[in-house]
Structure 1
Amino acid sequence: MVAANERVVAVIMVGGPTKGTRFRPLSFNVPKPLFPLAGQPMVHHPISACKRIPNLAQIYLLGFYEEREFALYVSSISNELKVPVRYLKEDRPHGSAGGLYHFRDLIMEEDPSHIFLLNCDVCCSFPLPEMLDAHKRYGGMGTILVVKVSAESASEFGELVADPTTNELLHYTEKPETFVSDRINCGVYVFTPDIFTAIEGVSTQRKDRANLRRVSSFEAMQPDTRSLPVNYVRLDQDILSPLAGKKQLYIYETNDFWEQIKTPGMSIKCSGLYLAQFRYTSPHLLANGDGIKKASITGDVYIHPSAKVHPSAKIGPSVSISANARIGAGTRLKHCIILDDVEIKENALVGHAIVGWKSSIGRWACVEASGDYNAKLGVTILGTFLNLVYILSLIIYFYFVFLWRSMKRQS
C-alpha cells in the first residue's frame, strides 16, 4: 500500500494529429482520444482508472494536439472526478520517454513517489492499484503491465521474458522478426522518479556519440541511433531493452482483457469490452428494457439520456448510442457505435458499424459488415458529410496534379 505521505501522479500519452492515420476518417472530426467508446471519450477510461490510485495528486495528458481541442474536456473531467487534470503540449517530438523527461519539472512539482505512464489507445481493465502494490514489493525502478497473447500475434508488439519467480524483466525486444515470447508489453507502466535519471543518461550518451562521430568512424558502428536527435528517447528501445536483466524493471501480468485501439474496427470491439466492464464498475450506465415501454435490450448497451429510441426497437449486444440520436420503430442495432445527432429510420438494420455524426439511415436499409475487427473491410463506417467533402477534394486535387505532371512530361 502507498503510505499516507506519499503522492502519485499519472501521465497519459494521447499522441497527436500527425499520428493515428489508421483511425481515419473518424479522426477528421474529433481528436482520436476524444472519440467515444461505450459512451465515454477514449481517454476517459484510463483517466477513470487513475482515479482509483491511492493518493493520486495530478493527471497529465501529454500530446501534440492544440490545447484548445482538449480545454473543454479537461475542465469537465477535472470537475467530475475532483482530480486536477492538465494538458501538456509538446513543441516537437521527443519520443515516448523523451516527452516525459521534457516536462519533468512540472511532473515533479507534486514531489511524487511514483509516476504512472499510460498509452491512451490501450483498452484494458487498468489494474493500477494492484500494479502499484506489486511495484513496491519488487523494489525496482519500474513495473510493466504485461499480458499473454497468441504466438502468431506477439510479433506485432514488444515481446519480453521475465523470471517466473521474481518477475524481473530479463529481456525485452520491440516487434521482433522471430518469436521471443507470448508475453507482451501492454503500454502501462509505473516508475519511481529514477526514470528521469535513466532518460537523462540516454541523452548524455547520445550527445557523447555525436561528438565522437565528428572525428571518427563511430557513426558507422551505431546504425540504430545515429539519426535520432539527442533529446529523442524511446521508452522501449532506449530504456526497457538496455535495463532488462539489471534488477531495475519488473512485470505485472494481467489475466483480464487487453487490446490496442489502432483502427476504427478495433474501436467497436473495445467499446463492447468497456460496456461489459460496466456491469461491475458502472452498472448505472447500462440501459435496460423489455420492448414494451422501452426498447428491447440484449446484452450490454449504453444509451445517452438525450437519445430517443422507439420502444419497438431491438438493441444489443455491444451497442453505444450517443447524444440526440433518433432510433426509429422496428430498428435492429448490434455491435455498433451510433454517434451524435444520427437518425436511423424505421426497420433499418445496423451491425458491426460506426454511424458518423449527423448521418441518416433510411427505412429498411441494411448497414452490416462481417465483424472481423482486424480486417480492413471488417466493419462499415459512415462518415459525416464533411468527411466526404474532404475525401472528394483530395481526389480532385490529386487528379489535377496527375494532369499537370502529364502535361509537363509531354512538353
Structure 2
Amino acid sequence: MKIIVPMAGRGSRLRPHTLTVPKPLIPVAGKPIVHRLVADIVNVLDEKIEEIAFILGDPAFFGDDVVDSLEQLAVSLGATARIYRQLDPKGTGHAIMCAEPSLSGPAVIAYADTLIKANFNLDKEADSVIWTKKVENPEAYGVVNLNERDEITELVEKPTQFVSDQAVIGIYYFKEVGDLKKELQHVLDNNILNGGEYQINDGIKRMMAAGKVFKTGTVDEWMDCGNKEVTVETNRRMLGFLAERCEALISRKITSKDATILEPCFIGDGVTLKNCTVGPFASIGEGTIIEDSNVKNSIIQTYAVIKNATLDNAMIGNHATFDGKFTNVSIGDYSELKQ
C-alpha cells in the first residue's frame, strides 16, 4: 500500500504563518498537520505502508528541512519516502500526475490540509473508496450521489438542490491507482480543464463511466486547517480527542514557577512557565517562554516569548515576541509586538 500526499500549495489563507512554513507543517496539538494526517490514515488502514509519496512545490520554499521532516515521518511509519515536485500549480489532478512513477498498485491519496478522526473497515472489494463526512450544509461542499447499493454514481460540486449530505473531504483509496493515472493522463492529453485547472474529479468521473465501483468511507470527525480561526478550533478539538485517549501531552522537561496548567494542553520540551495560567486547549511549542500571562485556546509555536498577555483564540509563530494585552491575535514567525 502507498500513501500519496499532494502538498504543493502555499496556504495563503493561513498567512502570515505560512509565509515561512508550509501549511502542512504548521503544528496542531504539537505535531505538524501532515504528520497527524498520515499517521491517522495508517491507523485506519491497519496494514503495511511501503511508500509515502509527497508532492511538494518550489524547492525555494519546500526546502531540505521540509524534505528531511517528511523522510523522517515515513521512516517512523516503516515506509520509504519519495519526493516529487509540482512547480506549476495546475490543479489537483496535475499534482497527482507529478508523482507518476508512484501511481501503481493500491494507494490512498490524501490532501494535506485536513485532519480526521475515523474508525471503519476499508471496503477493499470496491475499486475505490471516497472518504466523506455528513454535513449540515451540503450546498457548501462537493458531495457524493449514491444509488440503492450505496455506490457512488456522481460527484456534485456545491449542489443547489439536495443530492446528499455526504461531503467529500479530500481522501481517496484506489485498489489500483494506475486506473486513475490512465484517466488523468487522458484529462491532461485532451486539455480538460475545470476552473482553469486539471482536477482529480475529472479522472474519477471517467473511472465511474468505465464501470469502476466507488464506495464511501465515512469519518467521524473532519477538521479543517484552512485559516487561523479554524486551525485554532481544530487544535482545540484535537487536544480533546488526544486527552480522551490518555495521550501524554505535557513534557516533563519544562520549567514552572507559580504556574497553573489547565488540561488538555500540549506543552513541549524546554518550555518555561512563570506566574501564568496555561490552558485549557493551548498548544505551546518547544523552547517557548510564557511569563505573567494567561493563555488558553491558542497555538503558540516554538521559541516564542509571551509576556503580560491575555490570549484566547490566538496563533503566534516561531521565534515571535509578544508583550501586551491584546487578546485575539495572529502573529507570524520572527515578529515582535511590544508596548
Alignment TM class, shorter chain as reference: 0.7 to 0.9
Residues 119, 385 of structure 1: CA spacing in aligned structure 2 closer, same or farther, 3 A cutoff?
A: closer
Alpha-carbon deviation of 1:252? Answer: 2.0
Tell me what 2:55 maps to: 62
Alpha-carbon deviation of 1:244? Answer: 4.9
Letter in 2 for 1:172: L
Structure 1 residue 359 corresponds to structure 2 residue 299:
no
Residues 171, 336 of structure 1: CA spacing in aligned structure 2 closer, same or farther, 3 A cutoff?
A: same
Residues 23, 384 of structure 1: CA spacing in aligned structure 2 closer, same or farther, 3 A cutoff?
A: closer
Alpha-carbon distance between aligned partners in 2 of 1:361 and 1:55, rounded to the nearest angstrom: 43
Corresponding residue SS for 1:206? coil
Q: Point out the structure with the larger helix share.
A: 1
**1:123-162 to 2 correspondence within 5 Å?**
123-127=115-119, 130-131=121-122, 134=123, 136-138=124-126, 140=127, 142-151=128-137, 154-162=138-146
Give the conservation status (yes or no) of the 8 Å contact 1:74–1:86.
Answer: no
Choose 1 or 2 for highest CA Rg. 1
Match of 1:82 among 78, 90, 96: 78
Residues 335, 278 of structure 1: CA spacing in aligned structure 2 closer, same or farther, 3 A cutoff?
A: closer
Give the conservation status (yes or no) of the 8 Å contact 2:281–2:298.
Answer: yes
Q: TM-score, normalised by structure 2?
A: 0.82
CA deviations 1:167-200 (Å, max 9, x no partner) are: 2112212233454331110111011221111112
Alpha-carbon deviation of 1:137? Answer: 2.1
Which deviates further from its counterpart, 256-265 or 73-82?
73-82
Give the conservation status (yes or no) of the 8 Å contact 2:276–2:290.
Answer: no
Give the conservation status (yes or no) of the 8 Å contact 1:336–1:354.
Answer: yes
Tell me what 2:321 maps to: none
Root-mean-square deviation over aligned CA pairs: 3.0
Tell me what 2:38 maps to: 47
Q: Point out the structure with the larger strand share.
A: 2
Instruction: State the number of aligned residues.
Output: 319
Give the conservation status (yes or no) of the 8 Å contact 1:342–1:357.
Answer: yes
Q: TM-score, normalised by structure 1?
A: 0.69
Give the conservation status (yes or no) of the 8 Å contact 1:122–1:260.
Answer: yes
Corresponding residue SS for 1:44? helix
CA deviations 1:229-267 (Å, max 9, x no partner) are: xxx52012x234455576424232425111221012222
Tell me what 2:5 maps to: 12
Give the conservation status (yes or no) of the 8 Å contact 2:236–2:281.
Answer: yes
Tell me what 2:109 maps to: 117
Q: Can you give the 5+ residue segments of structure 2 that lack an aligned partner in the other structure?
A: 316-326
Alpha-carbon distance between aligned partners in 2 of 1:172 and 1:50, rounded to the nearest angstrom: 23
Residues 205, 305 of structure 1: CA spacing in aligned structure 2 closer, same or farther, 3 A cutoff?
A: same
Alpha-carbon deviation of 1:113? Answer: 2.7
Q: Can you give the 5+ residue segments of structure 1 that lack an aligned partner in the other structure?
A: 1-7, 208-223, 287-301, 372-378, 390-411
Corresponding residue SS for 2:275? coil
Corresponding residue SS for 1:130? coil
Letter in 1 for 2:225: I
Match of 2:15 among 24, 32, 35: 24
Give the conservation status (yes or no) of the 8 Å contact 1:146–1:253.
Answer: yes
Tell me what 1:307 maps to: 254
Letter in 2 for 1:344: I
Structure 1 residue 368 corresponds to structure 2 residue 312:
yes
Corresponding residue SS for 1:98? helix
Corresponding residue SS for 1:137? coil
Alpha-carbon deviation of 1:114? Answer: 0.8
Give the conservation status (yes or no) of the 8 Å contact 1:14–1:61.
Answer: yes
